[in-house]
């Protein structure tokens, strides 16, 4: 409130944006910290390989994951059977045939569980397949 010419108090007509800016900066910091946490996929313990060639960076690779229990995931969506994987991948490749597919398998998964997934990917006509590993610590 400010005093007018005749000494009476009148309302101030200006908006104070400082509290608004403070709140927005706090929200921005919160979102910057939490956003990377939302990007996580399925947790797998990748095998370690020394001197393996790196996978090329692509804009949107299709990530197929086999976790320790043998469950198959495309991104974060679970696929119950390798045979059901084929139509899912075909649909994703319909938009872009050159899209890369990355296969992540937990190092505790038996080779016999990985081969049917590789066969299903081969049926889809995948031309660019990379197998994901990590460098030794």
- Per residue in 22-45, pLDDT (tens digit) is 999 999 998 888 877 665 566 666
Q: Do residues 62 and 102 make contact, with C-beta atoms less than 8 angstroms apart?
A: yes
Question: Which pair of structure tokens corresponds to residue 12?
Answer: 């101030």
- For 78, the 3-state DSSP assignment is strand
Distance of CA 77 to the CA centre of its chain: 12
Q: Where are the alpha helices (DSSP H) in 6-132?
A: 18-38, 82-95, 111-123
pTM across the whole model:
0.60
CA distance 21 to 30: 14
CA distance 126 to 85: 12
Cα–Cα distances in angstroms (integers) from residue 51 to residues 41, 54, 104, 133, 136, in the given order: 25, 9, 18, 11, 9
Strand partners for 131 = 103
Domains and CATH numbers, the chain: 2-38 (no CATH), 62-131 (3.30.420.270)
Q: Using one digit for the tens of pLDDT, what is the confidence trace for 84-115?
A: 888 888 888 887 777 888 898 888 888 899 99
Which pLDDT belongs to residue 32? 87
Give yes or no for residue 54 having a pLDDT over 80: no
Query: Residue 130, class by beta-carbon neighbours within 10 Å (0-12 exposed, 13-18 middle, 19+ buried)?
Result: middle
């Amino acid at each position: 409130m400010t005093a007018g010419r005749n000494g009476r108090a009148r309302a101030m007509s200006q908006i104070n944006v400082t509290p608004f800016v403070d709140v927005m900066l706090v929200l921005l910091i919160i979102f910057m910290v939490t956003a990377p946490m939302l990007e996580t996929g399925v947790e797998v313990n990748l095998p370690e390989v020394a001197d393996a060639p790196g996978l090329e960076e692509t804009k949107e690779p299709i990530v197929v994951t086999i976790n320790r229990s043998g469950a198959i995931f495309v991104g974060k969506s679970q696929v119950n059977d390798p045979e059901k994987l084929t139509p899912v991948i075909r649909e994703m490749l319909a938009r872009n045939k050159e899209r890369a597919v990355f296969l992540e398998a937990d190092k505790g998964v038996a080779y016999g569980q990985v081969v049917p997934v590789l066969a299903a990917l081969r049926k889809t006509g995948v031309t660019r397949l990379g197998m994901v590993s990590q460098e030794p610590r």
